[in-house]
Structure 1
Amino acid sequence: MSLRNKLVLGILSLLGIVSLGYFILWPADYIIRFQAPALPGTINQTLKIWSSANPNAKEIEQEGSMLSLRQEFQFADSTHVYQWSLDQVHDSLTNVKVYINDPRHSISNRLSTLFYSDTDLKKRAKKTVLDFYAKLVEHKNSFKVEIIGEVEMPTTYTAYIESKSKQYSKAAQMMRQLPLLEGFVVENGIELKGYPFIEITKWDRAHDSIHLRFGYPVVRNEKLIVHPEIKYKRFFGKKALKAIFNGNYINSDRAWYALLNYAEKNGIEVEETPIEIFHNNPNYGGNSMRWKAEIFLPIKEKE
């Protein structure tokens, strides 16, 4: 074989390897990278809520950890698959990668990319991701979380209602139960001893579901009325991490992620059973940035 033929064969082999990598092994038709000014937990929850309101979004699934999500969009005859990957940089910055594929038109999309700088897939992907980013920034500016650190929670006696809910529906669930709880307290002359609270007894982060207790601290006495839906319990004081949340209580779970992040950074083992104490009544309206909630994450007791 002549030198020229060897050279041609070598070039063709190299092109074959590159083509194999690009058309078969490359992970996506298009990849978008950006930095988001939020913790992964905030991005995760905002992405799910944004997806539920997007008319083109079919479904979104969390794949194992909250750092990986798979999302589908339907655009005309194409189903676009977005694979979101989150990598935290520090307390207020996360690197985000979005791997975008159109399984039915993957080869044609990759061929078009070789000859055109801006394909239809790229235009659609950029518009979609920019729309999410704008929503994320708007959301991030609607609340504030301040980490206080380790505190001792006091012992209290409580009257509460137990229920189950999706994480994003906890505030709505609380408002549904408020008339029953407040009416029962007023009608029976039960003396309150503090602000309303919720205690999360189970938090399934993979499915965004929670078991919660919504109630009030009350003065204990022997004449407390029995009710089929309202229970009583002594809450024993314990050590916990504390944060102050300002904003709409719909989003107060963003402080849960901030406390988890603080615990991990400082090597503190915690129970994933947050407690929230609400200082304001949303029914009175006003600027939600002035609403205050104390958020606690119990510290695991050493054996």
Structure 2
Amino acid sequence: MKKIVSVAIMLIVVITAAWYLTKPYDYVVRFTAKTTVGTVNQSIKSWYAAIEGTEIIDQTQFDELKQQFTFGDSTHVYTWKIQALTDSTSRVKVYIKDTDHSIANKLAIPFSRTSIEKRSEANVKEFYDVLNSHIDKFKVTIEGKSKTRATYVAYTPLKGLQVEKAKGMMYNYSLLTQIMLKGKVELNGTPFVEITHWNIKNDSIQYNFCFPIKQSDSLPNHPEIKYKRYYEKDAIKAIYNGNYITSDRAWYALKEYAERNNIEVDLTPIEVFYNNPNMGGDELQWKAEIFMPLKE
């Protein structure tokens, strides 16, 4: 019996050691974020873009990113896994592997405070602080089911990355304002953005920047401006307060709200703006209504 027990213990030790030495990461850091999965996702991408020697090497999954750091003769791969806990909190796990010194790290970690532990904790802490600072600069309030407004519009079709949307809006706001005023066109509400295609994997969008106007037979011709009727749509709605550069945080909040509540939506958000970013001011007082249309 003692021999059987000894063999069993040895097998457990061998299996545990084999698992430990072959697991796909050397170290893991965990934290809880008071925001949505989408905001964490976008914040990781913004944060890494400002750091020299790092790049995103895999973002095929919305809730998982792989980021590569280069430190001297070491290459570290961070696998970020993000899980929604509630409407406004997410659990983040960061699995870190040194691709060149993985076995040495695994052997040393149980017995000493290694450089990969120190560096990983410092990097994740830096991101955590950046994330919390960002969260303090905007607010998203889900209001539930609603409808978009039907109207006739003058619009400019645009495309680019999500982070470039506000820049495109600012340029085209001036363009549309000048042309409509020159043509004596009567405006009929606040401007809005209609997203026609959203590629979540590479954060790119195609969209129309729209000015609601009164339809007439003498609208001005301009090579960059088109006209159409925008029809009412059933949607779920959120209020976004903050800089319009990051108004897509409300898109992610609505997307996750729809998933939790089994609501089928088209990922083509509509943003109605109530402030002119060119005028500046307290960004937390800027307001936008964000709609995510329901599937028909």
2:238 paired residue number: 243
C-alpha separation in 1, matches of 2:47 and 2:175: 32
Choose 15-24 or 27-36, whichever is displaced more: 15-24
Aligned length: 296
1:39 aligned residue: 36
Which residue in 2 is equivalent to 1:284?
279
SS in 1 for 2:109: helix
- Which residue identity lines up with residue 293 of structure 2 in the other structure? P
Q: Distance in 2 between matches of 1:7 and 1:260?
A: 53
Q: Distance in 2 between matches of 1:191 and 1:35?
A: 50
* CA shift in 2, pair 1:54/1:7, >3 Å: same
Deviation, 1:228, is 1.5
CA separation in 1, counterparts of 2:232 and 2:201?
29
What is the aligned counterpart of 2:91 among 65, 89, 95?
95
The answer to whether the 8 Å contact 1:58/1:74 transfers is no
Q: Hey, what does 1:23 align to over in structure 2?
A: 21
C-alpha distance in 2 between matches for 1:9 and 1:295: 63
CA contact (8 A) 1:160 1:231 kept: yes
2:156 maps to 161
Structure 1 residue 178, shift from structure 2 partner = 2.6
Q: Does 2:50 match 1:53?
A: yes
The CA distance in 2 between the partners of 1:223 and 1:12, in whole Å, is: 88
Calculate percent identity across the aligned residue pairs.
46
Provide the aligned C-alpha RMSD in A. Answer: 1.8
1:4 CA drift (Å): 9.4
Cα deviation, 1:48-94, whole Å, max 9, x if unaligned, reads 1111111232334313x311110001111111000011111111111
TM-score by length of 2: 0.94
Report if the CA contact (8 A) 2:180-2:220 is conserved: no
User: Judging changes above 3 Å, is the alpha-carbon distance between structure 1 residues 232 and 109 closer, same or farther for their aligned structure 2 residues?
Assistant: same
Once the two structures are superposed, the pairs formed by residues 69-84 of structure 1 within 5 Å of their partners are 69-84=65-80
Residues 273 and 171 of structure 1, relative CA distance in 2, 3 Å threshold? same
1:247-286 Cα offsets, whole Å, 9 max, x none, are: 1101111111111122222222111110001100111111
Structure 1 residues 190-205: aligned runs within 5 Å: 190-205=185-200
2 CA distance for matches of 1:61 and 1:172?
A: 27
Q: 1:58 is matched by which residue type in structure 2?
A: E
Find the residue that maps to 2:265 and give its secondary structure: coil
8 Å Cα contact 2:170-2:278 kept in structure 1: no
**Distance change in 2, residues 1:17/1:67 (3 Å):** same
Q: Decide whether aligned partners of structure 1 residues 263 and 4 sit closer, same or farther in structure 2, where only a CA change above 3 A counts.
A: closer
Contact 1:48 1:60 survives alignment (8 Å) = no
Please state how far the C-alpha of 1:9 moved relative to its aligned partner.
Answer: 6.8
Matches within 5 A, 1:1-303: 13-24=11-22, 26-63=23-60, 65-116=61-112, 118-301=113-296
Select between 143-152 and 244-253 the one with higher mean Cα deviation: 143-152
CA contact (8 A) 1:247 1:290 kept: yes
Three-state SS of the structure 1 residue aligned to 2:237 is strand
